[in-house]
Structure 1
Amino acid sequence: MATPLRLHRDEPESVGSDRRLDPGTVTAPPSDRCASVRSTALPVTGPHPPLFAVLGAHGGAGASTLARWWAPAADTGLAWPGSPRSTQRVVVAARLCMPGLTAAAERLREWHAGLAPDGVTVIGLVLTAARPGRVPATVRRYRRVVAQLVEDLYAIGWHDELIACDLADLAQYLPFDPVPPRRARIHDAVPTDVHRAGTAILTRLAASRENAAPQPDSER
């Protein structure tokens, strides 16, 4: 059975992705189930340093595929990005199944409990379909529970073409790319749900930078 989440009842159901809950309101995962920490800087695979990292909540979460699809992202594997020399903004990735949701909940509770490295900020959770077709009701219900731990939740569907496509052959999403054709092959353009999620993540990052920027003195 999935580990229940323990939230303080006075907390809102939706938690801002750029702030933590009071650690005393969250049951942290046991130490032997916490993620490892990457001490080296994230690699620069494009013309610019990555804007955010994709952390797999478990093996097979699709983090490498998502980081390939989103050109401004870096794959941090199953480890928190612990180096301040590169981005520590994290999107947690998991499969939309009970084991995947349980692993995602552990990573989110770990961050809220203050057990992730200093500087790490979770900016969203992306759930990728575990199979084609309808999601079972039990999984949908637990997804709603896990969603209480993060403000921004992104859904990626099942894409059959991935089975026969190498990572290096996947098309990439770049900021300001137009919406791709719905039936485009994945080596020509990213799927529309990948484009939609990438646009939303970058929009969120841009908004957080604007909010963090010093405001001019209105009295001058």
Structure 2
Amino acid sequence: MAAALHLRHDDRTVGTHRLEPSTVTTPQRLAPVRETPLPTTGAHPPLFAVLGAHGGAGTSTLARWWAPAADTGLAWPASPRSTQYVVVAARMCMPGLTAAAERLREWHAGLAPDGVQVIGLVLTAARPGRVPAVVRRYRAVVAGLVEHVYEIDWHDELVTSELTELAQYLPYDPAPPRRSRLREAVPTDVHRAGTHIITHLAATRSIAAQQDSEISP
């Protein structure tokens, strides 16, 4: 993973870290591309998209929990008419981490659609209990490909809950009460990750706006 030491910063990746494309091994299979804009399902257009690195990555649940997010399935959001800030989602298991690494390498290699900016990786527990050591070690390797990594625990109540019944996180919501039901509030780890994503995204967009103002005559 020596390639992780070669970082670049350019106008397309304001607030994010990119590897030099020449140092990245291109994945054998590329993700599909979504040409249509992401839907607006809430009061406002989505601020970021959740991209599944593989089937069953939990994108629909995460996008439901985070009200400012949109579920882009397995496809990169290519339309500039809606957000192209992306959080990659995967399960915390060897196949999930491998798939996440492929999507992150694809982005670093410049093979994702123009305008896409990966702002984080969210890893959802694949099962209850402790994560095997070998998975943890590989997680540390994959983490070198992205600036921010978020972990979501296993939540038993999801097994018996409909997606539309889940509570949602809104920017700047206070921390949820401990041991709340999923219909009443998002889990603490979901709230923590959502708050960090929104804070990071606000800073990223602020830097981009400042650079645009400096370029404008």
State the TM-score, normalizing by the size of structure 2: 0.91
Once residues 115 and 195 of structure 2 are traced to their aligned partners in structure 1, the CA distance between those partners, rounded to angstroms, is 24
- Segments of 5+ residues of structure 1 without an aligned counterpart are 1-5
Asked if structure 2 preserves the Cα contact closer than 8 Å seen for 1:64 and 1:75, the reply is yes
Query: Could you tell me which of 26, 29, 32 is aligned with 1:28?
Result: 26
Give 1:83's aligned residue: 79
Aligned-pair CA distance for 1:18 = 1.7
5 Å-filtered alignment, 1:1-220, equals 6-8=1-3, 10-11=5-6, 18-30=16-28, 33-214=29-210
One-letter code aligned to 1:111 = W
Once residues 66 and 59 of structure 1 are traced to their aligned partners in structure 2, the CA distance between those partners, rounded to angstroms, is 14
Once residues 137 and 94 of structure 1 are traced to their aligned partners in structure 2, the CA distance between those partners, rounded to angstroms, is 18
Give SS of 1:34's match: coil
Once residues 141 and 4 of structure 2 are traced to their aligned partners in structure 1, the CA distance between those partners, rounded to angstroms, is 13
Give SS of 2:19's match: coil
Once residues 105 and 10 of structure 1 are traced to their aligned partners in structure 2, the CA distance between those partners, rounded to angstroms, is 16
Aligned-pair CA distance for 1:7 = 3.9
Give SS of 1:149's match: coil
Aligned-pair CA distance for 1:9 = 6.8
Once residues 27 and 45 of structure 1 are traced to their aligned partners in structure 2, the CA distance between those partners, rounded to angstroms, is 37
> How many residue pairs align between the two structures?
207
Once residues 195 and 187 of structure 1 are traced to their aligned partners in structure 2, the CA distance between those partners, rounded to angstroms, is 14
Once residues 117 and 51 of structure 1 are traced to their aligned partners in structure 2, the CA distance between those partners, rounded to angstroms, is 18
Once residues 79 and 206 of structure 2 are traced to their aligned partners in structure 1, the CA distance between those partners, rounded to angstroms, is 24
Asked if structure 1 preserves the Cα contact closer than 8 Å seen for 2:169 and 2:194, the reply is yes
For residues 77-103 of structure 1, what are the alpha-carbon distances to aligned partners after superposition, in whole Å with 9 as ceiling and x for unaligned? 000001111000000000000000000
State the TM-score, normalizing by the size of structure 1: 0.90
Q: CA RMSD in A?
A: 1.6
For residues 41-72 of structure 1, what are the alpha-carbon distances to aligned partners after superposition, in whole Å with 9 as ceiling and x for unaligned? 00000010000000000001011100000000
Once residues 180 and 58 of structure 1 are traced to their aligned partners in structure 2, the CA distance between those partners, rounded to angstroms, is 30
Higher helix proportion: 2
Give SS of 2:91's match: strand
Asked if structure 2 preserves the Cα contact closer than 8 Å seen for 1:17 and 1:124, the reply is no
